[in-house]
Structure 1
Amino acid sequence: MDLATIWVTFTSWAGAYSWQVIVTLAIVGLYFLIDRLTIPVLSRSADNARLTESSGDRAVGLARLLTGTLCALAMMVVWGVQFGSVLVFAGTALTLLGVALFASWSILSNITAYFVILLHPTFRRGTFIRVLDADNYAEGYIADLGLFNLKLITENREAIVYPNNLLLGRPCVINPRDRLRGVGKLPPLPPLDVVPNNE
């Protein structure tokens, strides 16, 4: 095949599928636009939180994976890949992902909590926190943030691995005035002074 034949074949193909080509280019452009807007925000959040470089890289990689998957699904719909099948697949996948990423009992909800903690300015590396769970507590310095858990180092140099979704669901004391032993039961509150009833 010579160059002229290839050009004619390409132009006839492009004319027949012009709107699909235009929409595909728009989706690719949207992917790069979202990438250019979100990646600096995630990188800046990881830098502000003074986390390790791998924590920021994990967030960037996961964001690109999610965005790329959604763009690939959109392109499949544009190019006519069994719209009904893709719609059923996308609906099922979104339902499962929605439950998995947001239900508190799901392991994958730790990934959603990872992004919330990463973007939250309070949880920075080196910050001393106490996580309260009813009468129990765990406290220590934030050492690292992973996709599934936060690593705390106590003052006794013990490592506590705390799940991200549980951290978001529990009250936390940031830089408490009095530090306790690291892990255990909260000390009992002093008794309140009983004020006599003047009748």
Structure 2
Amino acid sequence: MTELFLLNKNQILTTLAIMLVLWIFQFILKKTANRVGHNSGIHVTRTRLMFKYINVLVTILAIFLLSLTWGYNAQELALIFSSVFAIIGVAMFAIWSILSNITAGIILFFSFPYKIGSRIKIHDKDLPIEAVIEDIKAFHLHLRTLEGELITYPNNLILQKAVSLIEKEYHADEGKDAL
């Protein structure tokens, strides 16, 4: 066991340093996302979604850096990563709308002025929508119309349409006639 440690002492120490730095980096990113979410009044489920994206980013960085540490040279890694990203790129081109909705979801997290519970109007010439935001997911919004209809609206479209805020927080029991 000591021979193994002595033979790989530099790699083990570098691995520990990389893991520590990435853990600190992940902690800082999560704290920042949490602070942005808290200051902007963003629902906790949307903040947790950002945490998943941060975890994926840190994992990819860890795989790349640890591969370099344990003996892969940069040319081999570049070949592996370019091959993987080429395959992913072809797959994402085939399903580009998923990627655009995820990207729009990230943009909505940081800059969308409306929150869950806000009553909005989407100005679309073909299908104008007036509804309450029930949930904001990675790919789409859940909107509930005043008639009770649930509409799933893609994130990338909400960034392309004009949206008006009607009420900051709408409660479902308001506006209904008492029986």
Taking structure 2 as the reference length, the TM-score comes to 0.74
For 2:161, the aligned partner's letter is R
Gapped runs of 5+ residues in structure 1? 1-5, 177-199
- Kept in 1: contact 2:42–2:109 (CA 8 A): no
Task: For residues 82-124 of structure 1, give each alpha carbon's deviation from its aligned partner in whole angstroms, at most 9, with x where no partner exists.
Answer: 6434212323444666787799942122112111111225031
Residue 26 of structure 1 pairs with residue 17 of structure 2 = yes
Task: For residues 112-138 of structure 1, give each alpha carbon's deviation from its aligned partner in whole angstroms, at most 9, with x where no partner exists.
Answer: 211111122503112222223344322
Q: Hey, what's the Cα distance between the residues in 2 that align with 1:104 and 1:49? A: 32
- State the secondary structure of the residue aligned to 2:146: coil
- What is residue 177 of structure 2 aligned with on the other side? none
From the superposition, tell whether residues 160 and 88 of structure 1 become closer, same or farther in structure 2 (CA, over 3 Å). Answer: same
- What is residue 132 of structure 1 aligned with on the other side? 123
Residue 156 of structure 1 pairs with residue 147 of structure 2 = yes
Q: Hey, what's the Cα distance between the residues in 2 that align with 1:137 and 1:102? A: 30
Q: Hey, what's the Cα distance between the residues in 2 that align with 1:71 and 1:128? A: 42
For 2:122, the aligned partner's letter is V
Write out aligned runs for 1:66-145 (5 A).
66-81=57-72, 83-94=74-85, 105-120=96-111, 122-145=113-136
- Kept in 2: contact 1:149–1:163 (CA 8 A): yes
- What is residue 165 of structure 1 aligned with on the other side? 156
For 1:25, the aligned partner's letter is L
Out of 27, 30, 49, which is 1:36 matched to?
27
C-alpha RMSD of the superposition: 3.1
Q: Aligned pair count? A: 166
- State the secondary structure of the residue aligned to 1:169: coil
- What is residue 54 of structure 1 aligned with on the other side? 45
Q: Hey, what's the Cα distance between the residues in 2 that align with 1:102 and 1:119? A: 25
Identity %: 26
Offset of 1:140 from its aligned partner?
A: 1.4
Q: Hey, what's the Cα distance between the residues in 2 that align with 1:89 and 1:72? A: 12
Out of 143-152 and 60-69, give the one that drifted further.
60-69
- State the secondary structure of the residue aligned to 2:159: helix
- State the secondary structure of the residue aligned to 1:172: strand
Which structure: greater helix fraction? 2
- State the secondary structure of the residue aligned to 1:113: helix
Gapped runs of 5+ residues in structure 2? 168-179
From the superposition, tell whether residues 139 and 23 of structure 1 become closer, same or farther in structure 2 (CA, over 3 Å). Answer: farther
> Which of structures 1 and 2 has the bigger CA Rg?
1
